């Protein structure tokens, strides 16, 4: 394997995803945090088309109610019932209709169920990748300013993020767990003594 070619191809795929995410941000209101039903449906239609291009339908023969991949002889035999099963056939059923097949045509359902699940997972992964890339783009374009570093004394006395409120919270939690060493009164007295010594 030529890793240079691999790296080049991977970078190209990354550039393509960046371009697609930028288009999604520009044309889908609220993306990526919100994806309207119509937009999601359109994206999923495209994802399913791509999946279908990579996974052509397979011809099955129906033998005694069971579905088996058709052999060359079965294909030629006009007396053998045959059906092509792929993305289009699987998604010609609504979710409700597909669910009923488990009872009405269990053999057909058994063949189509893993195909449907694979396609659903594929579509979900594609959308997740698109949303993830869009979030990275937005974060890069609108970086969150870093909080300034506090002096040690300021950090120590910080009522929200300092060590003192953290000790108080942990002591309270430990006491609820039944920790006999978690003495809130003793901690309060110790903090008061410490602050009396530390404060300028």
pLDDT of residue 117: 97
Residues 6+ apart with CB under 8 A from 51: 87, 118, 119, 122, 123
Q: With 0-12 CB in 10 A as exposed, 13-18 as middle and 19+ as buried, what is 187? A: middle
pLDDT per position as a tens digit, 78-108: 999 999 999 999 999 999 999 999 999 999 9
**Cα dihedral value 23, 6, 141, 126, nearest 10:** 40
Which residues are bridge partners to 67 per DSSP?
A: 62
Tell me the residue length of the chain. Answer: 200
This prediction has a pTM of: 0.70
DSSP letter for 84, please: E
pLDDT of residue 193: 87
Low-confidence ranges of the chain (pLDDT < 70): 145-148, 150, 157, 159-161, 200
Predicted local confidence at residue 175, as pLDDT: 86
Cβ-contact 115, 86 below 8 angstroms: yes
- Which CB contacts under 8 angstroms, 24+ apart, belong to 8-17? 17/129, 17/130, 17/133
Six-digit token string for 147: 């909080």
Q: Identify the residue whose tokens are 């409700």.
A: 96
User: How many CB atoms are closer than 10 A to CB 90?
Assistant: 21
DSSP letter assigned to residue 149 = P
CA distance 171 to 177: 10
What is the token pair recorded at 124?
A: 């979900």
Q: Please state, in angstroms and rounded to a whole number, the distance separating the CA atoms of residues 151 and 62.
A: 77
């Amino acid at each position: 394997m030529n890793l240079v070619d691999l790296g080049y191809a991977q970078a190209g795929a990354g550039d393509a995803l960046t371009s697609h995410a930028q288009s999604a941000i520009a044309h889908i209101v609220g993306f990526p945090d919100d994806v309207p039903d119509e937009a999601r449906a359109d994206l999923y239609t495209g994802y399913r088309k791509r999946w279908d291009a990579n996974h052509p339908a397979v011809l099955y023969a129906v033998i005694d109610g069971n579905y088996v991949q058709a052999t060359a002889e079965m294909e030629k035999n006009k007396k053998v019932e045959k059906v092509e099963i792929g993305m289009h056939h699987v998604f010609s059923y609504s979710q409700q209709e597909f669910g009923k097949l488990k009872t009405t045509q269990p053999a057909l359902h058994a063949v189509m169920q893993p195909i449907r699940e694979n396609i659903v997972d594929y579509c979900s992964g594609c959308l997740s990748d698109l949303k993830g890339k869009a979030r990275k783009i937005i974060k890069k374009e609108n970086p969150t300013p870093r909080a300034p570093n506090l002096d040690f004394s300021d950090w120590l006395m910080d009522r929200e993020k300092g060590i003192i409120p953290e000790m108080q919270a942990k002591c309270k939690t430990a006491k609820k767990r039944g920790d006999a060493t978690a003495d809130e009164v003793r901690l309060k007295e110790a903090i008061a003594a410490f602050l009396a010594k530390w404060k300028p």
